[in-house]
Amino acid sequence: MTHRSRWVSAGLAIIVILGIGYGWRTAHYNSHFLSDTQIGGIQVGGQTADQAAQTLKTKLSNQTYTVEEHSKALAHFTSREAGVKAYSETQLKQMIAKQNSYSWPVHAINASADDQRLSASAMDNSDLTVLADRITQMAGTNRSATHNAKLVYKGHKFTIQKPVYGTEVSQASVKAALIKAIENHQSTINLADAYVKPTVLANSKALVSAKDHAEKLSKNRITYRITNHSIRVPSEAIASWLTTKNGKLATSNAKIEQYLIKLSHQYGTIHKTRHFKAHDGKTVKVPAGLYGWSIKVTSETPLLSKAILAGKPVTRTPVIQGTGYHKDGSDLGSTYIEVSKPEQHMWVHKNGKIIISTAVVTGKPVSGTTPSGVWDVWSKQRNAVLRGKNDDGSNYASPVKYWMPIDNTGVGIHDSPWQPRYGGDWYLTHGSHGCVNTPPSVVGKVYAAVPLHTAVVIY
C-alpha cells in the first residue's frame, strides 16, 4: 500500500467515525433538548422531557417577582401565586419533537440560547386575575386618568385634543403586564408597563374624518315647536355638543341636558307662578301647584342627540310630561275650576263659560288651610271613604259620594253632607282639613262637568 493510499484510508475512517458520531448525537436530540435550550429562562439543554419537567417544577416553584414603581417595591409575589405551571412531560416531548435535531452542531458551537418562552397557557387565568386585582388595589386610586385623543370645540372652531397619558391602572392592564413579564422571565416588573394606554391617538384617520363631519353637522337646521313658539337650536350650541368617543363622532349628552333644562324652564309651566284672570276680570297672582308641564329631559336628550348625528333638517315637538300643554300656547285651556278662599266660592268654567257657581267651605285656618296654587284633578272616584286625623288627634273616616283629589297631600273636592251651611266666614270655625267642601246638591254636577286633569285654581 502506498503512502497516499494510507492517507485516503485514514480520511475515510475519520469520516465514517464522524458520521457515526453525528448520527448518534442526532438520534440523541430526538429525545433530548438541544444543548442551549431554555424555557422561561431556565436551562434544560441536554435534558429529556422527564428531566426537564422536574427541573422546571423545582425552579418555577421558587421563582419570586417584584412589582415596583419609581424604583420602590410595591408588591412581591411568587410564581405559585401567579399560577405559573411547569409544562407536562407530554408537552415537553412535543417541544422536543418540533426542534431540528440535525442542527445540534450549531447549538453546540453558538452560545446564544434557544429560549422557549413561557406562554400564557402555562399560567392559571384565575390565579392571575386574583393577583392582578390585588396589585391594582395596592396601586391605589389616586392616579391621573388616561384619555384618548378627542374632538373639541373651542374658540368657535373644532380641534383635535391630544391624548393624555395617565398613571391609572386596571385589572386588565396589570394582568397583561404580569403575563408579558413572566413570559419574558423578568423577575422585576415596572408598574409603568401597566399604565392604561390611550387607544385613540391624535393622528387617527377616524378622528380627522370626524372633525370634517362635525363641521357639517353643526350647520344643520334643528327647530323645536313648543306651544306656539318656534325655536331653532343654535349652530354654536350644536357644535359645542359634538365630540368623539373612542374615535367615533358622538354628542355630549350632559351638555344637551343642560340646554333642554334651560328650554324647559323658559317655556314650561310646572313651577311657575301664574297671573290668573279671575271670574270678575281681576288678575290674581297664584303660586305653582301640581298642574303644569315641562320637557321630559331624560327622554328628549337621546332623541336630540340622534337628530344631530343624523345631519338632516328637522322640526319637532319635544317629549312633554305633566298636564296643561296646548299647541296654541294657552295654559289652563277653556275648562277649569276656580276657587276663591276669601269669597268661599267655586266657579266651574266649561269651554270658556261659567256653568256652575256655588258657595263652598275650604280649610279651617291655620292647620287645615286649603293650599293656594294651580292643581290638577288627577283622579275621580265614586263612594270613597276619606281618612285622617282631627284637630284633637283622633281618627276620622268620612264616606263621600264624589271624590276628586287635586294635590299630593290628600286635598280634593268632595261632597260634605255634615256641613249645615256654605260660604261666608263659616270656614273660620267649621272649615275642613284642607279639602274644598261642596254642597251635595251641586257636587255631582261638578263631577260630571270636569274631565280628568282639569286645572283647579285656588287663591
Per the CB < 8 A criterion, the answer to whether 349 and 280 are in contact is no
Write the DSSP string, 71-104. TEEEEEEETTTTTB-PPPHHHHHHHHHHS-GGGH
Per the CB < 8 A criterion, the answer to whether 277 and 336 are in contact is no
Per the CB < 8 A criterion, the answer to whether 423 and 409 are in contact is no
Find the length of the chain.
Answer: 459
How far is residue 215's CA from residue 151's CA, in Å, rounded to a whole number?
A: 11
Beta bridge partners of 246: none
How far is residue 273's CA from residue 286's CA, in Å, rounded to a whole number?
A: 6
How far is residue 174's CA from residue 406's CA, in Å, rounded to a whole number?
A: 59
What nine digits make up the cell of 11? 480520511
Q: Could you confirm whether 229 is annotated as catalytic?
A: no
Handedness of CA 275, 279, 281, 282 (dihedral sign): negative
Judge residue 370's burial from the number of C-beta atoms within 10 Å of its C-beta, 0-12 exposed, 13-18 middle, 19 or more buried.
Answer: buried
What nine digits make up the cell of 172? 386588565
Judge residue 389's burial from the number of C-beta atoms within 10 Å of its C-beta, 0-12 exposed, 13-18 middle, 19 or more buried.
Answer: exposed
Q: How far is CA 81 from CA 127, 174, 355, 422, in A?
A: 7, 15, 85, 85
**Beta carbons within 10 angstroms of residue 229's beta carbon:** 11
The bridge status of strand 381-389 relative to strand 293-295 is unpaired
What nine digits make up the cell of 163? 391624548
How far is residue 307's CA from residue 313's CA, in Å, rounded to a whole number?
A: 8
Q: Could you confirm whether 279 is annotated as catalytic?
A: no
**Beta carbons within 10 angstroms of residue 83's beta carbon:** 18
Whether the bond between 366 and the residue before it is cis, its omega within 30 degrees of 0, is yes
From the list 3, 414, 430, 433, the catalytic residue is 414
From the list 107, 349, 433, 435, the catalytic residue is 435
Give me the amino acid identity at 145: A
Q: What are the E-state strand segments in 79-198? A: 114-116, 150-154, 157-161, 188-190
Per the CB < 8 A criterion, the answer to whether 26 and 107 are in contact is no
Q: Could you identify the residue written with the cell 408598574?
A: 191
How far is residue 389's CA from residue 379's CA, in Å, rounded to a whole number?
A: 22
Residues with active-site annotation: 414, 435
